């Protein structure tokens, strides 16, 4: 039933979206439940019903890899100073459907906006797959010499948060606060680098009011009969560019739901929702020149991102906007419409989207009851490094099936890497200078960079990593030199992937014994008794304690 080319975008849970947009009547929506809507470069939007599903997700990447564009060897940037960006990174841009050489507007700065969690509940592991892919992106940009400014919002007001607060009989703030804290705990557990700004929707309402006014002034928004303010997608010719849902292909179906009658066109979406009794009861209503109400979810992201980059850098265009594939339509499409209609400039130059985390072929979702929270794993004692490695072993643009077996295998891999590093460190001073290990490390780094430069091909980067561990262990068996260079290369890679086992915290008595041994070794070294120093190091290593001599002193950790 598909045209010859592969789909560019697949929207799951299509029924609700189609009804909400007035494209399908509610009565017809029943047979759309569980359907997937596939969008193609050319030709129609194809809707695939569940029974017709043929390909296992892992064998059918939703995004085809286009041929790589030619890469420039050197490019001069206006305003670029003291910085020669590595022109080798290429990223898949959903907007152009191509892998393109990455060039930020004002290097070395990269502005990155990622849609954050809705804090009505705990974020599940599927949400964290998206956040982890964004962490990989950010870390690799930083490792490549860019200065990333990362913004991740917290959606603490929307239909779900209001409904949950109302059901619990609390205010919005009381309901969301524990989930905000939980999100930060989970973020730290999974070793995600904290964003530079975590704006909260409820604290950014003035910026949202300003944006709505701008859109009203420009005539692309209007107040509906119900008092809410809507965006008129008719008056924004670029609507549908990101998702490929060309406006000609959107057929207007029967009008649905009572509030749909308030709009001029059923496809229009709410920027500002007139306050109802529930909104006021939970403290989710604000006064605005166009009436008391609350922001729509799409508006929140546009207003917060434009505010952050506008006040900090004086620009209205993001270098990268990222999120999960389920946000392409309508969320990101609507963000583009609001932002570009207000500023008259491109909203984001690169749009990156991560695929779903599936459980037995179905998207992990609270709605399907097949979700696992990050904290469940933490409580089960799962090392975050194993979760990270598991996710890196599938490309971010391919769906990933989560199984306990795969997680256990990733745990074994993490342990192998930890053991390899401990062996290298154990070589200490003997591993200095040139040697087979140094050559292996240089080969590894070239392969590692080439893989990540190619649209963050983390599976290939991990393969290079395990190849290094395999060949490196054999070289260590043969007494090869160059361990110091190998540790350095490994640590540079870990700054990006961060998949070494979490060090155990030793018991206080054990820690005191280690400290005493380290001090004794230091004294032996000072009096040039290297035989004794080596004996102590070996004794520590036998109990799983690794030493690392750094310019600021000797550091230890328990593997
Ligand atoms: Zn967003």
pLDDT in tens, 173-212: 999 999 999 999 999 999 999 999 999 999 999 999 999 9
> Do 352 and 112 meet the contact criterion of CB atoms below 8 Å apart?
no
pLDDT given at position 503: 83
Q: Ligand 1 centre and the CA of 516: distance in Å?
A: 52
Check pLDDT > 60 for residue 27. no
Check pLDDT > 80 for residue 469. yes
pLDDT given at position 61: 24
pLDDT given at position 35: 53
Check pLDDT > 60 for residue 32. no
pLDDT given at position 86: 55
**Top-ranked range on mean pLDDT: pick from 54-58, 91-95, 369-373:** 91-95
Q: Ligand 1 centre and the CA of 302: distance in Å?
A: 7
Q: Which two tokens stand for residue 150?
A: 């990362």
Q: Ligand 1 centre and the CA of 322: distance in Å?
A: 9
Q: Ligand 1 centre and the CA of 360: distance in Å?
A: 28
Residues 6+ away with beta carbon under 8 Å from 409: 390
> Do 149 and 312 meet the contact criterion of CB atoms below 8 Å apart?
yes
pLDDT given at position 245: 73
The full 3-state SS of 125-137, as one line of letters, equals: HHHHHHHHHHHHH
Q: Ligand 1 centre and the CA of 371: distance in Å?
A: 21
Q: Ligand 1 centre and the CA of 154: distance in Å?
A: 9
Q: Ligand 1 centre and the CA of 169: distance in Å?
A: 27
> Do 50 and 83 meet the contact criterion of CB atoms below 8 Å apart?
no
pLDDT given at position 322: 98
The predicted model gives 468-473 an average pLDDT of: 97
Q: Ligand 1 centre and the CA of 201: distance in Å?
A: 11
The predicted model gives 55-76 an average pLDDT of: 27
pLDDT given at position 8: 52
Q: Ligand 1 centre and the CA of 329: distance in Å?
A: 11
Check pLDDT > 90 for residue 87. no
Rounded mean pLDDT of the chain?
84
pLDDT given at position 551: 78
pLDDT band at 67; cut points 50, 70, 90: very low
Q: % helix / strand / coil in the chain, to the nearest 5?
A: 45, 15, 35
* pLDDT above 70: percentage of residues in the chain: 80
The predicted model gives 19-25 an average pLDDT of: 53
Residue 448 burial by CB count (10 A; 0-12/13-18/19+): exposed, middle or buried? buried
- Residues 294-335 pLDDT 10s: 999 999 999 999 999 999 999 999 999 999 999 998 999 999
Q: What is the DSSP letter of 244?
A: T
Q: Which two tokens stand for residue 104?
A: 């930020």
Question: Bigger pLDDT: 487 or 245?
Answer: 487
Q: Ligand 1 centre and the CA of 410: distance in Å?
A: 31
Among 195-204, 241-250, 346-355, 501-510, the minimum mean pLDDT is found in: 241-250
Q: Ligand 1 centre and the CA of 294: distance in Å?
A: 16
Q: What is the DSSP letter of 201?
A: G
Task: Give the helix ranges, DSSP H, for 314-454.
Answer: 333-343, 374-379, 384-392, 404-427, 436-453
pLDDT given at position 428: 62
Q: Ligand 1 centre and the CA of 337: distance in Å?
A: 13
pLDDT band at 508; cut points 50, 70, 90: confident
Q: Ligand 1 centre and the CA of 351: distance in Å?
A: 12
For residue 197, list its beta bridge partners.
151
Q: Which two tokens stand for residue 356?
A: 């779903």
Q: Find the helix packing angle between 125-143 and 483-497, rounded to 10°.
A: 130
Q: Ligand 1 centre and the CA of 377: distance in Å?
A: 27
Q: Ligand 1 centre and the CA of 352: distance in Å?
A: 12
pTM over 0.85: no
Distance CA 394, CA 409 (A): 14
- Residues 251-269 pLDDT 10s: 444 333 434 567 888 789 9
pLDDT given at position 360: 74
pLDDT given at position 182: 97
- Residues 387-430 pLDDT 10s: 999 999 999 999 999 998 999 999 999 999 999 999 998 876 56
- Residues 141-166 pLDDT 10s: 999 999 999 999 999 999 999 999 99
Distance CA 393, CA 544 (A): 28
| End-to-end C-alpha distance for the chain, whole angstroms | 54
Q: Ligand 1 centre and the CA of 335: distance in Å?
A: 7
Q: Ligand 1 centre and the CA of 548: distance in Å?
A: 43
pLDDT given at position 14: 57
Q: Ligand 1 centre and the CA of 431: distance in Å?
A: 49
501, 517, 536, 540 from 548: Cα distances, Å: 16, 14, 13, 12
If one counts every other C-beta atom within 10 angstroms of the C-beta of residue 99, the result is 18
pLDDT given at position 23: 52
If one counts every other C-beta atom within 10 angstroms of the C-beta of residue 293, the result is 24
Q: Ligand 1 centre and the CA of 317: distance in Å?
A: 15
Q: Which two tokens stand for residue 54?
A: 């043929």
């Amino acid at each position: 039933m598909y045209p010859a080319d592969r789909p560019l975008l697949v929207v799951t849970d299509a029924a609700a979206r189609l009804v909400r947009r007035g494209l399908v009547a509610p009565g017809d929506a029943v047979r759309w439940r569980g359907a997937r809507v596939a969008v193609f470069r050319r030709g129609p939007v194809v809707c695939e019903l569940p029974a017709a599903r043929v390909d296992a997700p892992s064998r059918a990447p939703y995004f085809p890899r286009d041929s790589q564009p030619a890469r420039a060897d050197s490019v001069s940037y206006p305003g670029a100073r003291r910085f020669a960006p590595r022109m080798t990174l290429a990223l898949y841009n959903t907007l152009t459907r191509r892998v393109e050489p990455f060039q930020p507007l004002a290097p070395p700065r990269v502005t990155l906006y990622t849609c954050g969690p809705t804090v009505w509940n705990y974020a599940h592991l599927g949400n964290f797959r998206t956040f982890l892919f964004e962490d990989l992106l950010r870390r690799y940009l930083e490792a490549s010499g860019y200065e990333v400014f990362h913004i991740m919002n917290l959606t603490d007001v929307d239909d779900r948060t209001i409904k949950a607060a109302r059901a619990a009989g609390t205010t919005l703030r009381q309901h969301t606060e524990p989930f905000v804290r939980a999100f930060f705990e989970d973020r730290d557990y999974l070793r995600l680098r904290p964003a530079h700004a975590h704006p909260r929707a409820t604290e950014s309402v003035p910026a949202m009011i300003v944006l709505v006014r701008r859109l009203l002034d420009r005539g692309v928004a209007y107040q509906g009969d119900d008092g809410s303010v809507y965006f008129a997608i008719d008056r924004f010719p670029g609507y549908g560019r990101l998702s490929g849902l060309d406006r000609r292909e959107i057929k207007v179906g029967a009008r649905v739901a009572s509030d749909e009658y308030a709009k001029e066109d059923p496809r229009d979406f709410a920027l500002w929702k007139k306050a109802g009794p529930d909104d006021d009861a939970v403290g989710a209503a604000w006064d605005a020149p166009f009436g008391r109400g609350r922001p729509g979810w799409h508006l929140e992201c546009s207003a917060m991102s434009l505010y952050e980059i506008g006040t900090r850098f004086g620009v209205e265009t993001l270098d990268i906007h990222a999120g999960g594939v389920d946000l392409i339509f309508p969320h990101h499409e609507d963000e583009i419409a609001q932002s570009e209609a207000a500023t008259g400039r491109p909203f984001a130059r690169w749009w990156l989207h991560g695929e779903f985390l599936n459980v037995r072929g179905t998207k992990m979702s609270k709605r399907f009851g097949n979700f696992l929270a990050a904290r469940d794993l933490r409580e089960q004692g799962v090392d975050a490094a194993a979760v990270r490695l598991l996710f890196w072993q599938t490309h971010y643009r391919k769906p990933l099936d989560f199984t306990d077996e795969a997680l256990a295998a990733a745990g074994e891999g993490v342990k192998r890497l930890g053991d390899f590093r401990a062996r290298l460190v154990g070589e200490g001073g003997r591993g200095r200078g040139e040697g087979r290990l140094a050559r292996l490390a240089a080969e590894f780094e070239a392969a590692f960079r080439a893989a990540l430069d190619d649209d963050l091909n983390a599976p290939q980067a991990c393969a290079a990593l395990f190849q290094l561990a395999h060949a490196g262990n054999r070289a260590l068996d043969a007494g090869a030199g160059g361990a110091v260079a190998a540790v350095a290369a490994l640590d540079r890679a870990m700054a990006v992937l961060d998949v070494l086992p979490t060090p155990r915290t030793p018991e206080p008595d054990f820690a005191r014994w280690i400290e005493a041994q380290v001090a004794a070794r230091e004294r032996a070294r000072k009096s040039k008794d290297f035989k004794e120093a080596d004996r102590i190091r070996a004794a520590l290593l036998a109990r799983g304690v690794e030493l690392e001599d750094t310019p600021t002193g000797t550091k230890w950790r328990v593997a």
